[in-house]
Structure 1
């Protein structure tokens, strides 16, 4: 219970009476014996007791600080003393970092011609759809790449697959990362699952049919953009796009393309054929230079139309990278191009960071990789192809190949029947006129036999006597 305070009686001396302020205005004495304080004239006073308390408090703080310094120096080695003293406010920018903050200097990830010497990281992107049968071949290529594997991060997008693509991919990645050879394991690996409602079948006739091209390529562009946005990190200097159905490519392809130091660069892509189909054939017709005919054609098409190469419906008369190949040409020869094929693309990461992407819509009447090439050129990036540097795509019979094989099979059957009939006729002729000498000898013998028989009859008739009458 709080004590109650009564007003002092007039007979009692004021407790401030002996003080010099007792005669002044700050503490006037009234008939009631109470006192009041004028706020606008009040000044705090110092007393020996207050100074002693303040001095004791400072001494305690000094002792606590000294104990803390001793603890940091002798009990907790390695700790920084200055941040403890200054609470981190006077630390330099390099020392003052939070664990959840990452600092990236993008000026150091621009991409150079000799990135393997500067330890520049590459993001290798591979879109997958029903790729179970191709994955073992693709991983054999990964094992043979000469670019330092620890500087390559792998990113896979598995979409709209009905086979065992995901499980086979996981098994092969586990085996690759568990290799005893320290040069084999790769860096960070990302597997992303995302379906885009792709309805076009994976057989050759469906994938390469003209009617499916526009919608198919727009969905493929979405897949590439999803994969890139999910996997690209601030420390990547390059992005390499690679189809899993590439059959043959140089082990040094990353260094070979990187040495040109271009923003976007692609090799030439051909495919092997059976001997009866000619032995080889250009495959990727999406790498080309623009032509006036194609620009005039684009002006006549609808806004959402997508021009695709290699079809009679769109006669563009463009110079194609594939058709300019010389097997004995200089593999380092460059050719400026506008459209880009997607089988094998090496691009600097800054191209994508600047906003270039794979348009999932009609961009200048193109989509996906061809639209990517056009967009990169529009943003003043260098886009080149190597007409004499060739990689080989896996052979898959096209619709024309299948039709040609059927025609050749029919021709073979007709030819075999004709040869069979011809052989039978020759056999009959041979049986009839096989050995004319022996037949002549036989006929001669028969004639001689008849002649001798006639002669014998004549001799017998001459030797027989005539009877008397």
Structure 2
């Protein structure tokens, strides 16, 4: 019996709708953003870089393609859509990759334990380290490699996307890395020039086309909120830094206490600008020394009298930043902001970086009521 014309029309529409629903269901199943399940080893393998010369910001398998006569195949031609790369206040939800960079003189297990506890998806985190070629640097490298090996062979959720370890090709200017020796005013210029070179070497070697954020985390930062990356990126600022304090035993009060540590995050003053104007071209103005009164507003002192008034999301615009835990949008570095190893407007390293970022049109921000803690030697 032949079907009526109206029934044939209804049947065609039904088939089209069913086809659309089926395609939508398949897209939902295979869309990586539609699933909240943990990433699997197979997914990590599929996401891996395809050649030894690929940028070190993705997982990299040991096996790679070989060409004719057993020789390594040439690297593939890869097109990166940089205009589609985001750095937003929803970093984890958008799958934005974070590069954590650490210049390391000594290895502290508390630093590594804190790193592993970070709740940002580890498959989106790449790590980069640079260490000096000294006896102490050799010992730190061995300890770091052992920690990396243990974590990267452990539970999948703890493993990081990739790890790069570099060794400095120049000698550190100070033989002693004792905290008091490091912070002597007469040692600041040569020490921070060397630190700038190390930071730049690490940055230029590891920054890849898929990196959205760069977190500079010093190796002696041993305590942060586990949500450090989510918290900092949620402000969606080009450059942002938390307040760095230090826990210590207060012998007068006979109890554990905290004290300010990083004085490099500040708001500029007219007095400091006048001091700089009278300096020679190679002179540097350092913060935190009593015999150089700059009268800058230091973020370490921007605290309310009542601890109940602390607001972890309170923001303040800064002119100088410290590097103990510094979050930077990768595009700020791509646009040319680095750590000057030379006097830049009479500033060096992280403070010079802040000045350079501002000259490029970016703003720098601080979180005076949000704390990370430095190791107490």
- Give the TM-score taking structure 1 as reference length: 0.61
Aligned to 1:144: 117
Aligned to 2:282: 304
2:158 matches 1:184: yes
- Give the TM-score taking structure 2 as reference length: 0.76
C-alpha displacement at 1:196, in angstroms? 2.5
Q: Please give the root-mean-square deviation of Cα atoms over the aligned residues, in Å.
A: 1.4
Aligned to 1:288: 266
Aligned to 1:210: 185
Aligned to 1:249: 224
For residues 23-58 of structure 1, the C-alpha deviation after alignment (integer angstroms, 9 at most, x for no partner) is xxxxxxxxxxxxxxxxxxxxxxxxxxxxxxxxxxxx
SS in 1 for 2:352: helix
- In the alignment, structure 2 segments of 5+ residues that lack a partner are 1-73
C-alpha displacement at 1:194, in angstroms? 1.4
Report the number of matched residues.
295
Aligned to 1:54: none
Aligned to 1:11: none
**Distance across 1 between alignment mates of 2:85 and 2:216:** 18
Aligned to 1:441: none
Aligned to 2:127: 154
Aligned to 2:352: 371
For residues 185-227 of structure 1, the C-alpha deviation after alignment (integer angstroms, 9 at most, x for no partner) is 0001111111432131101221011100011101100000000
Partners of 1:176 and 1:184 within 8 A in 2: yes
- In the alignment, structure 1 segments of 5+ residues that lack a partner are 1-97, 397-469
| Alignment partner of 1:226 out of 201, 206, 219 | 201
SS in 2 for 1:202: coil
| Alignment partner of 1:269 out of 238, 244, 247 | 244
SS in 2 for 1:183: helix
Larger radius of gyration between Structure 1 and Structure 2: 1
**Distance across 2 between alignment mates of 1:321 and 1:311:** 15
Partners of 2:111 and 2:223 within 8 A in 1: no
**Distance across 2 between alignment mates of 1:109 and 1:339:** 27
**Distance across 1 between alignment mates of 2:120 and 2:371:** 19
Aligned to 2:167: 193
**Distance across 2 between alignment mates of 1:110 and 1:347:** 13
**Distance across 1 between alignment mates of 2:179 and 2:214:** 28
2:318 matches 1:343: no
Partners of 2:86 and 2:96 within 8 A in 1: no
SS in 2 for 1:374: helix
2:83 matches 1:107: yes
C-alpha displacement at 1:277, in angstroms? 5.5
Instruction: Quickly say closer, same or farther: Cα 1:206–1:186, change in 2 above 3 A.
Output: same
Aligned to 2:41: none
**Distance across 2 between alignment mates of 1:331 and 1:350:** 26
Where does 1:305-454 land on structure 2 (aligned, <5 Å)?
A: 305-326=283-304, 327-328=307-308, 329-396=310-377
SS in 2 for 1:107: helix
SS in 2 for 1:154: strand
**Distance across 1 between alignment mates of 2:134 and 2:90:** 38
SS in 2 for 1:196: coil
For residues 164-190 of structure 1, the C-alpha deviation after alignment (integer angstroms, 9 at most, x for no partner) is 1111111110000011x2211000111
**Distance across 1 between alignment mates of 2:252 and 2:351:** 28
Aligned to 1:117: 93
Structure whose residues are more often strand by fraction: 2
**Distance across 1 between alignment mates of 2:229 and 2:169:** 30
Instruction: Quickly say closer, same or farther: Cα 1:275–1:114, change in 2 above 3 A.
Output: same
Which segment is superposed worse, 260-269 or 189-198? 189-198
Partners of 1:110 and 1:348 within 8 A in 2: no
Instruction: Quickly say closer, same or farther: Cα 1:277–1:158, change in 2 above 3 A.
Output: farther
Partners of 2:97 and 2:212 within 8 A in 1: yes
**Distance across 1 between alignment mates of 2:350 and 2:142:** 28
**Distance across 2 between alignment mates of 1:231 and 1:99:** 18
**Distance across 1 between alignment mates of 2:319 and 2:135:** 35
Instruction: Quickly say closer, same or farther: Cα 1:277–1:210, change in 2 above 3 A.
Output: farther
Partners of 1:196 and 1:223 within 8 A in 2: no
